[in-house]
A and B are shown apart, each in its own frame.
Chain A
Amino acid sequence: MRDQLEAAWAIFRRDLQIFLSYRGQAASHAFSAAFSIALFYYISRLLQIREFESPDAYFAFVVVGLVIMAVLQSTLVLAGAVRSELVAGTFERLLLSPFGAVRGALAMMIFPIFLALAIGVWTLLLATVFFGLGLRWETAPLALPVALLAALAFSSIALLATAAVIVFKQAPGVGALVALVTLVSGFYFPTALLPGWIGWTSEVQPFTPAVELLRNVLAGLPLSEPAWLAVAKLLGFALIVGPFAAWVFARGIELGRRRGTIIEY
């Protein structure tokens, strides 16, 4: 077990070092987060709708949406990262190691999630200091386990997308999936505004409970369902879909080995 953790740590450190070797990258992320907050702050000043009692209420709502969006995207970068590694010939080294491709792919998610959490903290810090976001400090520390649980649930979808990359060399639906999730999960506006024919989709995926829980613990915004139920949904998704996704990914690797497509890059 210790050896496995050391291998995962080595992959995390590899990704961190490569990220830091591009000097402008961290600054780019920091500025991007700052500009997004500023954009939504000024949009919030334009809003006067009954769903929010004040522009500040919408600003708090959308800032947490930005944080969870970063977490979602951090998991979905796995498909692109594995594709890059396949092209570079480094993924086959993972495949030919005792650590293996499945555990290697899971370890490749650690750094992006860590980076998303760091960007989340930075986003909240900027929003609080410069734009007057009212954080609920007594429950804010709970945001970390909630975000990690959300990342775990989202990782299942990322693994399925990565299995598609292994088998079909592409995962063309990922961009559309992110757009759809943004639409139906209440990242930028309440799901209550959705028309009935699509509104049900906000109930059957892990993104809505994740963003609602985060909003509750960070900004004290009300939940549409009991907190335990939202946690159970996330946990259930992670525990049921997660192992299934890992199985699909492993089968994808085996299929790639049989067809020989694993080395066709």
Chain B
Amino acid sequence: MGAVRSAAPRSGASPAPAAGRGPLLEARGIAKAWGGRHVLAGVDLTVGPGTLVAVTGANGTGKTTLLRICAGLIAADAGRVGVGGLDPSRDRAAYQRRVGFLAAGDRGLYARLTTRRHLDLWARVSLLGRRRPAAIERTVAALDLAPLLDRRLDRLSMGQRQRVRLAMAFLHEPDLVLLDEPLNSLDEHGRELLVGALAALGRRGGAAVCCSPAVVAGIPFDRALVLDGGRLRESSR
């Protein structure tokens, strides 16, 4: 892990608008098996406002599964997950307003649409209403997308596409951002933009969980955890 700071929220961070005083993300006893193989066996994870958490672990240890459960994409076999006290099934729409998710890989884009169209589409589908133009403008600035706005996604490099995918995770100003291997294909500039976006998230009291198989240099995490044997533990690094 790069620089790992204290587990306390960053100094000067304002509380999340709707986060209250409790943890932003709270997962208790999360268990999930794939085809009889128990990938997660009672994972507990609590993330407070203004906190940046790294989760590492070898391939196949369940990092992606854990993030997908926290995002509300799939359900755990046992245990519960909540964001700001909301349940991903019962309070689906409210939950999704507060969570941003970046899946691993390079999927989730329309090859024939421009960056501008992607941002407009997902801003509308996020039901941003009058906040939409400002949200798009802010995201374009945060991830330096202005030169890419009128280019189709099939004509962008992999790193540029990753920036567009990151934009969709941050676009609706979520309180919690879940990033699965966010540095995929990013160059130094892209990495700096991601660090800036995470810092801005922390300043407004949001939190992030980033998963990657190994050490991620250059991102100032507050906590580093390792997923191993179906459970999370603090990293010794």
Which chain A residues have a beta carbon within 8 Å of chain B's beta carbons? 2-4, 6-7, 9-11, 13-14, 17-18, 21-22, 88-90, 92-100, 104, 254, 257-258, 260, 262-263
Contact = CB atoms under 8 A, between A and B. Distances in A.
Contact of A18 (B96, B110, B122): B110
* Most interface-central of B68, B99, B105 (chain A CB within 10 A): B68
21 contacts: A3-B124, A3-B127, A3-B128, A3-B129, A7-B127, A13-B121, A14-B113, A17-B117, A88-B109, A89-B107, A90-B109, A92-B103, A94-B125, A96-B99, A98-B127, A99-B125, A257-B73, A257-B75, A260-B65, A263-B68, A263-B73
Given A95-B73, A98-B96, A257-B75, A90 B108 contact: yes
B107 A7 contact: no
B121 A14 contact: yes
Given A10-B121, A89-B105, A99 B127 contact: yes
Contacts of B28: none
B221 interface: no
* Most interface-central of A92, A100, A104 (chain B CB within 10 A): A92
Closest 8 CB pairs of A and B: A89-B107, A10-B124, A21-B112, A89-B108, A3-B127, A98-B93, A97-B125, A99-B125
A27 B157 CA distance: 32
Contacts of A10: 120-121, 124-125
Contacts of B97: 98
A49 to B, nearest CB: 48
B39 to A, nearest CB: 10
Contacts of B126: 97-99
* Most interface-central of A89, A95, A98, A104 (chain B CB within 10 A): A98
Contacts of B117: 14, 17
Given A3-B129, A92-B103, A97-B122, A14 B110 contact: yes
Contacts of B172: 98
B68 A17 contact: no
B117 to A, nearest CB: 6
Contact of B108 (A2, A7, A93, A258): A93
Given A2-B129, A6-B124, A95-B73, A17 B108 contact: no
Nearest to A104: B125
Nearest to B117: A17
Interface residues of B, number: 37
B101 interface: yes
B74 A260 contact: yes
Contacts of B68: 263
A95 B75 CA distance: 13
A70 to B, nearest CB: 24
B233 interface: no
Contacts, number: 99
B73 A262 contact: yes
A84 to B, nearest CB: 11
B122 to A, nearest CB: 7
B168 interface: yes
A93 B168 contact: yes
B71 interface: yes
Nearest to B96: A98
A18 B34 CA distance: 36
A94 B105 CA distance: 17
B14 interface: no
A73 B89 CA distance: 33
Nearest to A258: B75
Given A11-B125, A18-B110, A96-B71, 16 more contacts: A6-B127, A7-B124, A7-B125, A7-B127, A88-B107, A89-B107, A93-B168, A96-B73, A96-B96, A97-B127, A98-B93, A98-B126, A100-B93, A254-B75, A254-B89, A258-B75
A24 to B, nearest CB: 14
A180 B212 CA distance: 51
A11 B99 contact: no
A5 B101 CA distance: 24
Contacts of A89: 103, 105, 107-109
B92 interface: yes
A96 B34 contact: no
A13 B112 CA distance: 13
* Most interface-central of A4, A6, A96, A263 (chain B CB within 10 A): A96
B72 A96 contact: yes
A89 B97 CA distance: 19
B34 A260 contact: yes
Nearest to B93: A98
